[in-house]
A = this chain, B = another copy of it.
Amino acid sequence: MAKFRNVAFAIVLTTAACLGQGGGSGPASTNIPGAEFPRINRDSSVTFRVQAERAQKVRVSLGFGQATCDMVKGADGVWEATTEPLAPGFYYYGISVDGFITIDPGSRTFFAARKEVSGLEVPGTESEFFAVKDVPHGAVRTEWYSSKTTGETRRIFVYTPPGYERGPQRYPVLYLQHGYGEDEAGWSDQGHENFILDNLIAGGKAKPMIIVNENGLTGVNFQSPPPSRPGPTPPPSLGVARFFMDERYAALDQIISEDLVPFIDTHYRTIATRDHRALAGLSMGGAQALRIGFHHLDQFAFIGAFSPAIAITDPTKDYDGILANPAKLNQRVRVLWLGIGSEDFLFAPVNDSHEALKKAGIHHVWVESPGAHVWTVWRKYLADFAPRLFQ
């Protein structure tokens, strides 16, 4: 079992803590240019400040509503709150103005929980592996292609590694999916997949590879706007997680296997064999990676599930019996990677799934790490998974 350093996800923002004044060491890297707040203080506490002269009540809420507290209004109409020291990592957050949940004007927005939300990066030594360093950089392409499955022109993101332009080298491909409520931009905007790979490649720790991000919420017809509630909408319950594996998600299977993989192999200099193709994802995307990967072992030899929304109970029957012959599966799947944070609300079913796979003799890398259901964890999982690919 791989171990990460102890960086347990801890939101310790309390009403009492909100009363403090920030010492100020600098604006968050996730701020819009020129915005002084939110501000990361020297002790990794964070001071939020918003101007709302006429508001009666202003609150700040971190994560999925785990920590919410009232901000305090100053004489100048500026509301302020300071957290206790926060663990390094990436936090979604929201501001509530007289009950209306919205963004902090000081922050860049990120697409999550099916809406635009504020994001906060608390830096630390933990951030080194995705920092923008003086190493050769790849590019992230926004690309449009035609899907026969949906009849749409679909947007994808494609990371190409440093040196790709020079050619004529061909590369393996990792198909990497986001979670529920996010979209194909998540792995570059929140996940920094490009900088993680740039750094791994520069250090000789991962093979140069292409990464492709599609939108995994295919086939869902939302009938209503996202609910308005304090902070971003919570992640799916396990009941919703099961929904992600059902037939309504067959569209994504077909999109990836019939439309996307052929498009990428035609338009990029790939090595178009199963031994040079991986499929992974986080949360809902992890469930999709397992389902689609197992159904297309002719296309994928590497499968990764980061904090996946799964509940494998009987490997002889789940996934249409594809796991029923462990010896054959172990030969076909070169790496099966499964990881979950110990504070993740999905820990129990994923841990049970791991135990079920182990009991059935299905080889897999198992990572139990500190942390919850957050990007702070998923970035690390990518940094653990990518070096194991295409070796």
A: which residues have CB within 8 A of B? 32-37, 50-56, 58, 97-103, 105-109, 111, 114-116, 132, 134, 137, 139-146, 153, 158, 165, 167, 183, 188, 217, 222-226, 228, 267-268
Q: A37-B225, A103-B102 are in contact. Are A146 and B134 (CB under 8 A)?
A: yes
Q: Known: A98-B55, A143-B137, A228-B51. Is A103-B132 also a contact (CB below 8 A)?
A: no
CA distance A36 to B32 in the complex (A): 28
Asked if B36 and A224 make an inter-chain contact with CB atoms under 8 angstroms apart, the answer reads yes
* New A-B contacts (17) at CB < 8 Å, excluding given A33-B183, A58-B100, A116-B116: A34-B114, A36-B224, A51-B100, A55-B100, A56-B56, A97-B97, A97-B98, A97-B100, A100-B102, A101-B105, A103-B116, A132-B144, A139-B143, A139-B144, A140-B141, A142-B142, A167-B167
How often does this chain occur in the complex, in copies? 2
Contact B142 A33 (CB under 8 A): no
Top 9 A-B pairs ranked by shortest CB distance? A34-B222, A54-B99, A52-B100, A137-B144, A102-B102, A139-B141, A139-B143, A97-B100, A35-B225
Determine if B142 and A139 form an interchain contact, defined as CB atoms under 8 angstroms apart. yes
CB-CB under 8 A from A58, the residues of chain B are 100
Contact B55 A99 (CB under 8 A): yes
A98 proximity list for chain B (CB < 8 A): 52, 54-56, 97-98, 100
A231 to chain B, nearest CB (A): 13
A252 to chain B, nearest CB (A): 15
